[in-house]
Amino acid sequence: MDTDDPFFPWIRIARGLDHIMASKLHLFFTGTDDANKKQRKDNDMYERVKKRLLPKTVDEVADLLIGDLMAGDAQVLSRIDDAGFNRLYQDVAAYIIDEFQIWTANPELLHSCFEQARDNVAAFDPALIILNRVRQKLTSSEGVVIIT
């Protein structure tokens, strides 16, 4: 991969988000082995706990995704142009939908996405709404503390 490519940081961020979130959630919910995963998946209590831990708002998801970014990647993402943002969206949209179970098991988050898109329901896309919120939070200076 050519590191001089202007999209290189976004490719790394997309892959990093996917790897970090998948790894964290896999270890948290399933333990370290597949046998443990099957045993827990068969347990109704596990499913209730898992559902309760899903983020319920667009802001909660945005905060989770931002929290998993390295400082340098967050800084680059805060300055992304529209072409780079669209490329990032293409790389991570399906992951966001699946990971946060937007269509299958997270009606609260789906409702939060609808609330954010109430002016443009015809173009409703939960992943795009979430990524736009991430972008908005990273470009605003409100609540940002830089430690050097």
Span 93-146, pLDDT tens digits: 999 999 999 999 999 999 999 998 887 766 789 999 999 999 999 988 655 555
Phi-psi group of 70: left, alpha or beta (phi > 0 → left; psi -120 to 50 → alpha; rest → beta): beta
CB–CB of 35/43 below 8 Å? no
Give the model's pLDDT for residue 98: 92
- Once rounded to an integer, what is the mean pLDDT over residues 14-37? 51
Measured distance CA(113)–CA(134) in Å, rounded: 13
Tell me the whole-structure pTM to 2 decimals: 0.63
Place of tokens 């082995």: 33
Say yes or no to pLDDT of 26 above 80. no
Q: How far is CA 148 from CA 71, 72, 108, 138, 141, in A?
A: 11, 12, 38, 18, 16
Angle between helices 82-99 and 126-139 (to 10 degrees): 120
Close Cβ partners of 66 (under 8 Å, ≥ 6 residues apart): 74, 134, 137, 138
Helix (H, G, I), strand (E, B) or coil at 147: coil
Measured distance CA(136)–CA(133) in Å, rounded: 5
